[in-house]
Amino acid sequence: MNDRYKAGTLLLAGAIGVLVATYGSLPTSTNAQQADAAWTQTRTAWGDPDLQGVWRYEGAIPLERPARFAGRESLTDEEVAQIQKVEEEQAAQRLAGAEGAAVARRSVGESPIRGNEYNSFWQDHGRPRQVSKQTSLVVDPRDGRIPYTPDAKKANERASARYGVGPYESFLDPDTGERCLTDGVTALMWQGPNGGHNRIVQSPGFVTILHEEYLDRRIIPVDGRAHGSIRQWLGNAVGKWEGDSFVVDTTNFIDRTNYEWAAIFTRPSETLHLVERFKRTSANSMEYRITVEDPATFVKPWTAVIPITRLGDDTQIYEYACHEGNYAMTNLLAGGRVDAAKKR
């Protein structure tokens, strides 16, 4: 797994905030659901389940199961309490302003912030991370690991090794995210800065999802039509309702396996088939389930269950004109020239 995703998933930046001080402890997802036991699924004016609002992932669950939890699908209450304690300590460090000198210069693994190069001043710590018993987002295969093909495993290791390091000989060498293109549809609902912000808007016959980063948007017909034939970066999606679950089937991705990806599991190929299930579990929580099938990258399909959280009604999606301000592109190519000169 790419370091960004390790750090991003394990130490998600948009995590801990002033609320810890305000509320005293972090909510577990179980508690959050219990609090809304009386909730029933609301409906749109035309009768569809209402999923609208801005959603993001705020969990503390790693994508793949860490080795220390091998063979276990859930944590004990004691382990949950321990993780919660760590989350609170990290929040307290941030609130005390200790993350710079005292924290951020420690190793990446120890740092409470995603990455090790920015302090929390630059990060959005608006809400506490939700601790839950789930040991990995991946629930199938049962070992909680993504079943890469041997070639994809190598590609993933290579991507991880070169992440942020290069070599950068051309504009093609940064990954698609660094190039302001996309990080792929597979992780759209739960990745991105601070857990991603996704606005779901419904109208009769359509569900639209606007992802803030790169302003990726998906306009999903829910009218029984078949897949279109045009291949696209984000594929061709068709949706349907199964009870209160919104099921999206996406195929016809364009092959971009030859591009650099921050995480190989998000790269599209012509054989990628993505099935997503959105099921609201309370006023402010949703179970988002994906099943990813692609013989170009995986030996068998895998499924992840991601709890996502609805943000307040006043939450907005903002501009993301990434290309226009991507000074990093020139900077990293300039840095690449320095590296190349040293090697001569």
Closer residue to other proteins, CB minimum distance, 194 or 236: 194
Query: Least distance to other proteins from the beta carbon of 322, Å?
Result: 5
- Judged by beta carbon, residue 134 or residue 309, the one nearer other proteins is 309
Got the DSSP string for 98-122?
-IIIIIITS-TTT-SSSSSSS-GGG
Q: Residue 227 in 3-state DSSP?
A: coil
Residues 6+ apart with CB under 8 A from 95: 18, 20, 21
Residue (66 or 204) nearer to other proteins, CB: 66
Taking the complex as a whole, the smallest distance from the CB of residue 184 to other proteins amounts, in Å, to 15
At closest approach, how far in Å is the CB of 106 from other proteins?
A: 6
Choice between 100 and 221, CB closer to other proteins: 100
Q: Which residue's CB is nearer to other proteins, number 107 or number 229? A: 107
Distance of alpha carbon 135 from alpha carbon 118, whole angstroms:
28
- Please, what is the minimum distance in Å from the beta carbon of residue 151 to other proteins? 25
* Residue 338 DSSP one-character state: H
Coil, strand, or helix at residue 59? strand
Task: Give the nearer residue to other proteins in terms of CB position, either 126 or 221.
Answer: 126
CA dihedral 177, 181, 185, 186 (to 10 degrees): -30
- What six digits make up the tokens of 114? 């995603």
Output the CA angle 303-1-93, nearest 5 degrees: 105
CA angle 139, 144, 148 (to 5 degrees): 110
Tell me the C-alpha distance between 198 and 57, whole Å: 10
Least CB distance to other proteins at residue 61 (A): 19
Q: Give me the least distance between CB of 49 and other proteins, in Å please.
A: 22
